[in-house]
Amino acid sequence: MDMQKNQYNVLFACSELTPWVKTGGLADVSGSLPHALRRAGAEVKIVVPGYRAVLDQIDRPQYVCHLDLPLGPVAVCCTSLAGTEVLLVTHPVFSNRNGNPYMSDDDRAWPDNPYRFALFSQAVSEIGLNRANLDWQPDIVHCNDWQTGLTPALLSLSHQRPATVFTVHNLAYQGNILYNAYKELELPDALFHADGLEFWGQASFIKGGLAYADRVNTVSPGYANEIKTTEFGAGMEGMLNSRGERVSGILNGIDEEEWNPETDPYLKQNYTADSIDLKIENKIALQQRMKLPVDKDIPLLGSISRLAIQKGIDVLIDAIKAMPDERFQLAILGAGETDLQSQLSQLADRYPEKVAVRFGYDESLSRAIEAGSDIFVMPSRYEPCGLNQFYSLRYGTVPLVTRVGGLADTVFDVDSSDTKKDQKNGIVIDAATTEHLVDGIQRALVHYNDKAQWKALQRTGMRTSYSWNRSASEYIALYAKAIGDNLNRMSVTRYANV
Ligand code: ADP
Ligand code: GLC
């Protein structure tokens, strides 16, 4: 574990991974950041649970070893993804189920999720300690979200261990379980205290990452500041403040090859910033696909979202109801809460010429909405980073967002006097309320009618780079700090033991 070298060995642990298994942006980050880290000189192995959906998509994974973990035996296999090695932790709790990583097909969380992700975290810790027959010692174990939160905590029990980084993609999902359930999992008592996993009497998986990782980061500088406040801290603000400068923000990037309107195979018509007039073909195709009246001139709003309180879809529904006479269309694709689904269905029934909704996870339709819409609406109540605003900017679809988290860091309002003209790329509202959103949509509609200005906005978005290059270097710098912290800890404890 040499602090001087740049070529760190990085074990990147995640619970979803594009293109194999995705419920949200975490999968896209896991499927693109590791490749960018490799380009920046790191040697990276990704580790992910061997879900049925993953095993079905890969050709003969290679057997690596068995691990006899406290929670049971798992097999580790390996394969590769775009040149990056991927380790699969296989066990029937992952491989014998349909549905997504966290829920069954009828949208119910698997009751044994604490067991599944404690098992996964134990496996990641063993691989991190070079006990998986790989002859490979990571310098850094980089964990992501609550599903891997126990790993930094478990590793903290070993004196000689790799450095750990924990990235918060969403603080609201915490993996909290009753103390009895924690005892049943026979997880170490030594970790259950106020400065450790304990959270209001329960055990919190995410707190394992927040409390024990050498460095903690979130996916935008804006959200890094927000989560230290009561409003956005989800009860973890005290712990986060106590970690001081060890908590930082690094803005997500995107895979610019994967999300490129010039080459995207899902699009009816490919286009670039210079041939932006061709984008209209995608609008017509989207109107046809969503069974909305075909009309080149009517502003078409799009939204692709997990249907969750975070995303402000309820606010969008209320805003649409508050503007019955305004001329626009809305195409929404969403998966998630059934109550929001039924509210959206009712909205589409009430305004069939104006609103079209589709439910479920649909990659092809999501690309069609990104390319075919004029305006992309994200009225999030909070947003750690958000990826759809990047995809929209890249596709010349002007984003309309709330001024929170990563959205505030990436979208700059067309009417703002603080922003330089050549940086203006969208519409920003102050908060996720009906009044603000109605105002934001009305402003967007006015600007849409000024064709020259609208094209300038679109081109600014399309010509800006959102690649991982800069952020990958920031992660490498963060790894160096984490390694430094870990070396200090080891030398201090060694000294204390003399
Ligand atoms: P979050 O991770 O909070 O859901 P992000 O904006 O970071 O939000 O990422 C969401 C990702 O998931 C985007 O790539 C988006 O296009 C995709 N997505 C969300 N819902 C759907 C859906 N129903 N069908 C297809 N893709 C979806
Ligand atoms: C989470 C956040 C989202 C972020 C994504 C990837 O799901 O809700 O804002 O973009 O993770 O980091």
Where b means 16+ CB within 10 Å and e means fewer, 279-318 reads: bebbbbbbbebbebeeeeebbbbbbbbbbbbbbbbbbbbb
CB 165 within 8 A of CB 217: yes
Atom of ligand 1 lying closest to residue 22 CA: 12
pTM of the full structure: 0.96
Atom of ligand 2 lying closest to residue 24 CA: 7
Q: Which of 23, 232, 252, 401 to mutate to test the pocket of ligand 2 (most atoms within 8 A of CB)?
A: 252
CB 200 within 8 A of CB 152: no
CB 208 within 8 A of CB 153: yes
For residue 243, the CA-to-ligand 1 centroid distance in Å is 30
For residue 410, the CA-to-ligand 2 centroid distance in Å is 14
CB 101 within 8 A of CB 49: yes
CB 307 within 8 A of CB 340: yes
**pLDDT tens, N- to C-terminus, the chain (498 residues):** 444 456 999 999 999 999 999 999 999 999 999 999 999 999 999 999 999 999 999 988 999 999 999 999 999 999 999 999 999 999 999 999 988 899 988 778 999 999 999 999 999 999 999 999 999 999 999 999 999 999 999 999 999 999 999 999 999 999 999 999 999 999 999 999 999 999 999 999 999 999 999 999 999 999 999 999 999 999 999 999 999 999 999 999 999 999 999 999 999 999 999 999 999 999 999 999 999 999 999 999 999 999 999 999 999 999 999 999 999 999 999 999 999 999 999 999 999 999 999 999 999 999 999 999 999 999 999 999 999 999 999 999 999 999 999 999 999 999 999 889 899 999 999 999 999 999 999 999 999 999 999 999 999 999 999 999 999 999 999 999 999 999 999 988 666 654
Contact 387 CB / ligand 2 (< 6 Å): yes
For residue 399, the CA-to-ligand 1 centroid distance in Å is 15
CB 426 within 8 A of CB 420: no
For residue 222, the CA-to-ligand 2 centroid distance in Å is 13
Q: Does domain 3-253+468-496 have CATH number 3.40.50.2000?
A: yes
Q: What is the pLDDT of residue 6?
A: 63
Q: What is the pLDDT of residue 5?
A: 55
Residue with CA closest to ligand 1 atom 12: 24
Q: How many helices (H) and strands (E) does the chain have?
A: 19, 18
Contact 304 CB / ligand 1 (< 6 Å): yes
Give the pair of three-digit tokens for residue 186. 């026979």
Residue with CA closest to ligand 2 atom 10: 386
223-224-229-231 Cα dihedral, nearest 10 degrees: 20
Residue type, 326: E
For residue 386, the CA-to-ligand 2 centroid distance in Å is 5
Atom of ligand 2 lying closest to residue 219 CA: 12
For residue 169, the CA-to-ligand 2 centroid distance in Å is 5
For residue 26, the CA-to-ligand 1 centroid distance in Å is 9
DSSP 427: E
CA distance 121 to 157: 14
Residue with CA closest to ligand 1 atom 9: 25
- The CATH superfamily assigned to 273-462 is Glycogen Phosphorylase B; (3.40.50.2000)
Contact 366 CB / ligand 1 (< 6 Å): yes
Contact 333 CB / ligand 1 (< 6 Å): yes
Q: What is the pLDDT of residue 3?
A: 45
CB 121 within 8 A of CB 115: no
CA distance 387 to 254: 7
Radius of gyration of the chain (CA): 23
Give the pair of three-digit tokens for residue 486. 């870990």
Q: Phi then psi for 330, rounded to 5 degrees?
A: -140, 130
Q: What is the pLDDT of residue 60?
A: 87
Contact 16 CB / ligand 2 (< 6 Å): no
Atom of ligand 2 lying closest to residue 28 CA: 6
Give the ligand whose atoms come closest to the C-alpha of residue 302. Answer: 1
Strands 375-378 and 43-49, sheet pairing: unpaired
Which residues of the chain form CATH 3.40.50.2000?
A: 3-253+468-496, 273-462
CA distance 181 to 178: 5
Residue type, 349: D
CB 45 within 8 A of CB 79: no
Contact 306 CB / ligand 1 (< 6 Å): yes
Residue with CA closest to ligand 2 atom 1: 169
DSSP 95-133: HT--S-SSB-TTS-B-TTHHHHHHHHHHHHHHHHTT-SS
Q: Phi then psi for 94, rounded to 5 degrees?
A: -105, -40
For residue 334, the CA-to-ligand 1 centroid distance in Å is 9
Residue type, 445: L
CA distance 110 to 457: 44
For residue 252, the CA-to-ligand 1 centroid distance in Å is 14
Residue type, 226: E
For residue 1, the CA-to-ligand 1 centroid distance in Å is 37
